[in-house]
């Protein structure tokens, strides 16, 4: 039983309006096969309509037989430079391209942190321990608490173009899995 008018009004408001939960929605966009020897310049277009796209995650996986793949093995695919073009205009952060040694700085912002230090991931593990993932941060603010600070892609035809330069080393194929990370929300209402 609620005896306070203020608490009763607040409970009634939640009952009438519902409770909103915000979260990161991750969806697999597409898979791009890459030839290790031939493909030195990779162009990836993402035109997934979102009101707040936080980032793009690219995971590089070598071909495998079903049931034999190490699910935590993602390779560093000899990337040299990454440029991002949004709706036909170069992104200011990536205007001159991000080089391979600078990728950790971008990616580390997305790892959960405790006392301002990334947990369970280090620079050495990221580049040498088959834990690599190319993450393109599309937020206008670096804070994890800011909801809705991602890039707006609504009613556009160009979308996002990634121009990736890499060394043509090795032979065979590699699969590049592209994931879209966007802000999302869920509203729960009590009753009908």
Per-residue pLDDT of the chain (192 residues; tens, 9 = 90+): 778 888 888 877 777 777 777 778 888 999 999 888 888 898 998 888 888 888 888 888 887 777 777 777 777 767 788 888 887 777 666 555 565 556 666 666 666 566 655 566 666 766 677 777 788 888 766 665 666 667 777 887 788 888 888 887 778 888 889 999 888 887 776 654
Closest CA to 79 of 100, 110, 95: 100
Distances (CA, A) of 98 to 14, 41, 47: 46, 14, 21
Tokens of 79: 């990337």
CA-nearest of 147, 159, 161 to 50 is 159
Q: Which of 184, 182, 178 is nearest to 28 (CA)?
A: 178
Torsion sign (Cα): 95, 116, 178, 68: positive
pLDDT number for residue 179: 92
pLDDT of residue 87: 79
Q: What is the dihedral of CA 132, 96, 110, 78, to 10 degrees?
A: 0
Backbone dihedral region for residue 17 (phi beyond 0: left; psi -120 to 50: alpha; all else: beta): alpha
Instruction: Please tell me the number of Cα atoms within 13 Å of 97 on its side-chain side.
Output: 12
Q: Between the CA of residue 121 and those of 8, 102, 124, what are the distances in Å?
A: 46, 16, 8
At residue 178, the pLDDT reads 92
**How much is the pLDDT for 151?**
76
CB 187 within 8 A of CB 100: no
Spatial contact of 130 and 64, defined as CB atoms under 8 Å apart: no
């Amino acid at each position: 039983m609620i005896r306070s008018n203020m608490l009763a009004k607040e409970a009634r408001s939640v009952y009438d309006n519902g409770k909103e939960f915000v979260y990161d929605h991750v969806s697999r966009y597409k898979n791009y096969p890459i030839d290790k020897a031939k493909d030195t310049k990779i162009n990836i277009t993402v035109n997934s309509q979102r009101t707040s796209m936080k980032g793009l995650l690219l995971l590089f996986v070598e071909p495998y037989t079903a049931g034999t793949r190490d699910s935590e093995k993602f390779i560093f695919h000899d990337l040299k430079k990454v440029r991002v073009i949004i709706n036909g205009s170069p992104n200011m952060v990536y205007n001159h391209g991000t080089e391979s040694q600078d990728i950790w700085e971008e990616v580390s912002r997305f790892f959960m942190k405790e006392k301002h230090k990334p947990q369970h991931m280090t620079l050495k593990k990221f580049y040498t321990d088959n834990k690599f993932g190319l993450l393109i941060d599309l937020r206008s603010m670096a804070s994890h608490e800011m909801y809705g600070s991602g890039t707006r892609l609504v009613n556009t035809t160009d979308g996002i173009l990634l121009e990736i330069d890499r060394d043509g080393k090795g032979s065979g194929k590699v699969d590049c899995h592209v994931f879209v990370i966007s802000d999302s929300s869920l509203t729960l209402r009590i009753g009908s």
